[in-house]
């Protein structure tokens, strides 16, 4: 039982780490483009990205399950053409978590970009720096609090996922059984002691990581970052 307990926690934090890594690579460009966009379609794109904030997780999980199922056209193509099976696999959990946690990365970072003084970028352009150089060396370093907030929220949100994980991943020990699913399982089995152990770990983690991000952000703001 002890081995299964630690295996479940390891899988939970591994999923959060992998998902957050992809969200950093995806979320920063999306947030930057949204912050600079003046298109009339911008509100619709922002609404699309923000849907996971208001949709029941099982709704998103259900549609992802339909999309990735080998019985569907897209899922069958993924499996036949790319050899990629996303239903009831760890890879599927990662893809589902990216969709579900995307707004938690994009929104704080977008707000950070939008609140940057324009003269910072203009000074960089005047010195002959490209848009990419300005983004990497001027804009991103000056939104550290927003970036840190996005990373922490995305990581913590993935750790606590339940509905999407259950729909697309099921409950396979060592493959898709994360802590939130384990808590539900143990409560159903009336094994409150083990459920409490999982829950206490998640509560302690959530409190520690939030306290850390508030402390770091406070220090960054005091030193003039962001």
For residue range 43-77, list pLDDT tens digits in order.
Answer: 999 999 999 999 999 999 999 999 999 888 888 89
Domain 2-54+89-222 has CATH 1.10.3720.10: yes
* Residue 225 scores a pLDDT above 70: no
Q: What is the predicted pLDDT for the residue at 81?
A: 86
- pLDDT tens profile 103-148: 999 999 999 999 988 888 878 888 888 888 888 888 998 898 899 8
Domains of the chain, residue spans = 2-54+89-222
Residue 41 DSSP code? T
Q: How far is it, in rounded angstroms, from Cα 101 to Cα 26?
A: 11
* Residue 159 scores a pLDDT above 60: yes
Q: Which of 96, 93, 105, 123 is nearest to 20 (CA)?
A: 105
Does the pTM surpass 0.85? The reply is yes
Q: What is the predicted pLDDT for the residue at 111?
A: 93
* Residue 226 scores a pLDDT above 60: no
Q: What is the predicted pLDDT for the residue at 62?
A: 93
Q: What is the predicted pLDDT for the residue at 65?
A: 92
Contact assessment for residue 78 and residue 86, using Cβ atoms and an 8 Å cutoff: yes
């Amino acid at each position: 039982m002890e081995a299964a307990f630690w295996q479940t926690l390891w899988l939970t934090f591994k999923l959060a780490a992998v998902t957050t890594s992809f969200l950093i690579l995806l979320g920063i460009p999306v947030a930057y483009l949204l912050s600079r966009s003046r298109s009339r379609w911008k509100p619709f794109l922002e609404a699309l990205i923000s849907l996971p904030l208001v949709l029941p997780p099982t709704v998103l999980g259900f549609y992802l399950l339909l999309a990735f199922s080998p019985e569907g056209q897209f899922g069958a193509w993924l499996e036949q053409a790319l050899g990629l099976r996303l239903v009831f696999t760890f890879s599927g959990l990662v893809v589902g978590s990216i969709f579900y946690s995307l707004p938690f990365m994009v929104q704080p970072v977008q707000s950070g970009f939008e609140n940057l003084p324009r003269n910072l970028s203009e000074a960089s352009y005047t010195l002959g720096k490209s848009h990419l150089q300005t983004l990497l060396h001027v804009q991103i370093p000056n939104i550290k609090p927003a970036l840190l907030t996005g990373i922490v929220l995305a990581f913590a949100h993935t750790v606590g996922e339940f509905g999407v994980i259950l729909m697309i991943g099921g409950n396979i020990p060592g493959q898709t059984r994360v802590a939130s699913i384990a808590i539900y399982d143990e409560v159903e089995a009336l094994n409150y002691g083990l459920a409490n152990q999982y829950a206490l770990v998640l509560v302690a983690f959530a409190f520690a990581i939030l306290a850390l991000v508030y402390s770091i952000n406070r220090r960054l703001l005091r030193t003039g970052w962001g």
